[in-house]
Structure 1
Amino acid sequence: MMTSLLDLKPQLSSVGRSYIQSTPEMSNIGLLEGDWVWLKKVTDGQKVTAVNQSTRSVFSSYREMRHENLNLYVGLFLDAGIFATVTEHCPRGSLADILEDGSMRLDWMFKSSLLMDLIKGMKYLHMNRLSHGRLKSRNCMVDGRFVLKVSDYGLPMILHSQNLHPVEEPHDLLWTAPELLREPVRGGTIPADVFSFAIIIQEVILRTPPYAMMDMPAHEILQRLKAPPPLCRPVICVDEAPAECLSLMTSCWTEDPDQRPTFHDIYKQFRGINRGKKANIIDSMLRMLEQYSSNLEDLIRERTDELEIERTKTDKLISQLLPKSVAQSLKKGKAVTPEHYADSTLYFSDIVGFTTISALSEPIEVVDLLNDLYTMFDAIIASHDVYKVETIGDAYMVASGVPTRNGQRHAAEVSNMSLDILHAIGAFKIKHMPEIKVKIRIGLHSGPVVAGVVGLTMPRYCLFGDTVTTASHLEASGLPYRIHISLCTMKILTSLKLGYKMEKRKSQVKGAEDTFWLAGRDGFTKPLPVPPDLAGG
């Protein structure tokens, strides 16, 4: 068969190298019926005018070879005196190209995959009683799927039939078995292919050219190979590859051809080195992807759990700053409409003499004082159905019935909380002033309020209405260690019949509404600090 490839692409450079000389300025890549092919050009200084019948016959036998690890012959090329074999184009180039590419990481899985492909290709050739003749890393081509394919098999016989005898340089013979260096055999021998394979193993393991560690010119190495002793072989450290692989390599380049293993034996031994695992890069990549996918699922599950924990923390923090219903609306980007609450009770308290304490303290000590005090208050209100509205300086504001409506319980919840706070404040000590007692005033009032969110940056949940003003006034006009409640709150507590102890405060303003002191509750046995007005101080 003879094919003329006229649609050559001279702008494309060669993807591989050959021991056969080629014209540098001409491309080795062409198109045949839409598929890229590789041209291996042959020259021995004379032009080829025709392809003889013997060449056609020899080439036809090789063209019929079919195996996934053989780079199949497509045809012969003859044009303008240029003769070339045409094979499938392998875009990754040759094995030598890959080994020389320092940017490509090759682990043992990758290397063993390439070697196994080479073994299977050579095993197929030898099963058909065909030797390669010039096996080397330069004619082991790698396709786009990183499958190695043996190329140029039988090429010496094709060239001989065409009466072409290209001259080979010494460095092109470094893969040749010693017995062929002494007495060349046309087309090579099967044991000689095994020797060439051993040299390729050295290249793959070390990623260096043959005999590179000897630092000798090629012609001297060839001379030593021809005339032992001593034997001239590459030197490889034992930690460069699995011991079984090094042992296999050594047995393949033994001096006696009859002692070298066959590729059938090599195939079985190499499978043992890989412990029966498939040494195919695509299969290995798929296994790695499956493992990665499994690991990724675990990682996603782990990260999702972590995200859920962080989301819970965030929601908890937001719920401490804003009511839950308000926070949900803001997170969804919805506007929060002000809401009217007809029944609620408000709590206000502040520290008596706070200005004096601040003047006698360092700023950081004031911050510590307020943090300790209100942390204690926060722990107390957690056990009551109340909502902490805000703290401003030494002022502390709490509401019940807002934002969660709880019927008439709001007054009882705030009153119970106030008694607990008053009990706790009696034992509270200032760290930097342990001798000074912290005294607070508390004011309670019940009534309607309007609640809404104010601001977009650092939004605040605020309460508005006369109830807020009245409760604040009750606190301001109260006395230390006293819970000052309004007439409205007193009536609600009385209606609940829970045994609250309330005393009418003597009004100092004629015509003003009566107010009361909340002094305790039936069943409340915690000691309360004695107000200074009752202690005579």
Structure 2
Amino acid sequence: MAAGPLSTQGCWAGWAVHQRPPPLLWFLVLFWPRWVQPATFKVGVLGPWNCDPIFAQALPEVAAQLAVGRINKDPSVNRGYWFDYVVLNEACQPAQALVTLVNAERSASGFVGPVNPGACGAAGLLGQAWNKPIFSWACPGEVDEAARWSTFARPLPQPSAVLYAVLRFFRWAHVAIVSSRQELWVEVGQGLARSLRDLGLPVSVITVMEVGADGARNALRRVQRADNVRVVVMCMHSVLLGGEEQRLLLEKAEDMRMTDGTFVFIPYDALSYSLPYRRTPYPMLGNNTKLRLAYDAVLTVTIDAPERSFQEAFRDAQETHELPAHLDPTQVHPLFGTIYNSIYFLAKAVESARQADRWVMGSSIAEHARDFQLEGFCQPVAADQDGEAVLRYIILDTDGKGNRLWPTYSVATGFEGLRRIGHAIHWPHSASPGTDASCWFDPDVVCSGGVDPSSILLLFILVSCLILGGATFAYYVRRRILHAQLMKGPNKIVLTMDDLTFINTQSSKKVRGRMDDSRTSLAGKSVSDMKSLKSLAAAPDNTNVAVAEGDWVWLKKFPGEKHAEIKPATKTTFCKLRDLRHENVNLFLGFFYDCGVFAIVSEHCSRGSLEDLIRNEDMKLDWMFKSSLLIDLIKGMKYLHHREVVHGRLKSRNCVVDGRFVLKVTDHCYNELLEAQKILRDTPKPEERFWTAPELLRDPALERKGTFRGDVYSISIIMQEVICRSAPYCMLDMPADGGIGTRADGDAGIGGKRGYQSQSP
């Protein structure tokens, strides 16, 4: 059935609207009286025609009357319906505009409008519920209305898409929007901001200009405070058509020196109509010097009229007596032509739906608003196959001196983009706004703050070099400070020939007999004793015993002949070991690094190792003595394990006994020091691996690191040595290499038990 209240004349009109005539009535059709007219399609023209005096200058009733009159005479459009119109006045406030919209259901068959963007959502829903077409050029289009509302169509290209094409050409991404305080224009500004953000542009400022010069100043200050704003879009009536707010805004921008080429001002309302420019002077630019200077920073994007301007087309209609002769074309708002084109656009869609043999209703009309052309009021209008309106836009600019506008670029919303025509853009003081990175206009690229990728790369390289240089310098300074601390002062750990006096152990036996133990200070000795020690001095190559600050020390040399330096990791590891202080853990005093010798300096224990004590048959070891030694061993290892230190190579040879027969664990973390110093470790001999757990024998890498369970296994072997006072596995009559192979395969453990596994403490 047809959309809306279609008035009928005669029986045939009712059939034409509601259904196709049955075959039996063809006879009646052939002989039906010729004076019967087809069904009437009434177009409702929605807009703020009463509440806004500038919109009222568009003369919507005159435009609708002219469009309907020409449509009814056009044989390509009037075959199915007789068109009529009704002007519907909507309020400037969105809430009140909805009241007019709701009450318009029975007033028209389809609607052109609304003009207020705040009413677009309700209009789309109501049109879909009524199944009546809604053709509006003013909806901001932040989403696809055609997809949401099946009865919606757009008779003009989306304004934000046209504006985006201009911004993309000049690479102006950062936009500010200044709206008039009227609610209609506030809705326009917010809708435009959403549309541009959906397109990926950063709209940093959305502000409302309050009344008077102070309101303009405050709005412009907010624009100035924003970062990198290139374009200011003015959502208000154009000053060329009587917009007082835009005049105040531009004059104040001139006072604040914002029209010197730093910003570009674009009037938004000109995107909805064709502003005349051919042989059309604008007196307000000629009579107001400040406004003329400020307007040099304005680029006007408007619908192009390639053959005749709006005013010329208006005069032509007056000459054919289609329009009243008393109307002055210069006093008519160019939105007149947009209203005319929208009504004609709707009529074309109605006829396309009828010719497609479809029921003429809102959804079918919107669906067939495509693939046609029409002669608009002063320019051709077309709809492509996707239902998008196609018009040519143009960018107008002043020459900085006169009161006329000149064409500079033609604008197409598709891939054509902008094309240079006519005059060049006259930039104020020959200074154009800066440009933004092209990534803002690439939908496949996420733009990082609007910086060009090459600039990002250069900045990244520069920052990386600064960070790397700073880190290198800090590392160098830290190493120098650490080296100074380790070489001097109370934290000194690197010892040299100046700090140690090496003793020839073969000749020192006589002297050592006169000393109590390694802890005994030499300060109390006689002068003759000190002279005797000096006479025993030797080189570090042929001895491991030395005197440091009056105490005997032991040097455990690292393998290798020459060591270029002490690596930082070695110093770090040793600093951790130096903090280990326990009665049953041998104290590490530092590193000796001199004469090509690199060694660990620790306390010297005069009784030698536990292995030496066990093998010394002259030393009587009763059960009390044995238990004391084993308890010392357990205490020392317990302390190390609680400090998360793995020994890794525990055996009776690196359990030393001092002069008071106190056992101390030594050589802990020796493997870790070798790794830190990057020293290759020689493969241990079979007899040196008796204390190694079977699971470590199967994994050389794990054997180098050691485990807590492996240390417990080593303790058990030492306990067997002390209790039996014999070598490990003395009960097994086999060579050392054979015993190691058997334990690695899990055939026998301590006491011949098969598959022995070490246990955690």
The answer to whether TM tops 0.5 is no
TM-score if structure 2 supplies the norm length? 0.30
TM-score if structure 1 supplies the norm length? 0.42
